[in-house]
Amino acid sequence: MTTIVNFIIGFLILAGALLFLIATFGVIRLPDVYTRNHAASKAATLGVMFVLLGTFLYFYSVEGHFNSRLILGIVFLFLTSPISGHLINRAAYNSGVKLWDQSVRDDLKEYHKKMQDDSSAD
């Protein structure tokens, strides 16, 4: 039983660390702000959640200590991290950061242009 739990804990911590690494490579390699944010906000969130879950399982099974703050941290990160990614992307788009030159779709462009024309007409 303990061996299985230890295996799961090791898997969770290592998978989380691997996801951090993938997120870092994504931030370095991807071409523009939006794709970089896509890599950072998704992979890093899941990585942190894996590491926190592994830590929680370690303290629960090995030390016999139920740490509810780690559960709260997992829920809190799951709520906040996509929102911060959304806000950064939104701020970047509103301040006019260009998309990657090989992007094929920009559905927000016409709406954004119309909004800017309306606000300049006022």
Answer yes or no whether residue 119 interacts with another protein by CB under 8 A.
yes
Read out DSSP for 47-64?
HHHHHHHHHHHHHHHTS-
Residue closer to another protein (CB basis): 94 or 103:
94
Residue closer to another protein (CB basis): 86 or 109:
86
Among 87, 106, 108, 114, interactor with another protein by CB under 8 A:
87
Least separation in angstroms between CB 72 and another protein: 7
**Token pair in block for residue 31:** 């071409």
Least separation in angstroms between CB 87 and another protein: 7
Report how far residue 5's alpha carbon sits from residue 45's, in angstroms, rounded to the nearest whole number.
23
Answer yes or no whether residue 86 interacts with another protein by CB under 8 A.
yes
Q: Tell me which amino acid residue 39 is.
A: A
Report how far residue 58's alpha carbon sits from residue 28's, in angstroms, rounded to the nearest whole number.
32
Among 11, 80, 97, 103, interactor with another protein by CB under 8 A:
80
Answer yes or no whether residue 108 interacts with another protein by CB under 8 A.
no
Answer yes or no whether residue 71 interacts with another protein by CB under 8 A.
no
Answer yes or no whether residue 95 interacts with another protein by CB under 8 A.
no
Report how far residue 29's alpha carbon sits from residue 52's, in angstroms, rounded to the nearest whole number.
27
Residues 16/50, Cβ–Cβ less than 8 Å: yes
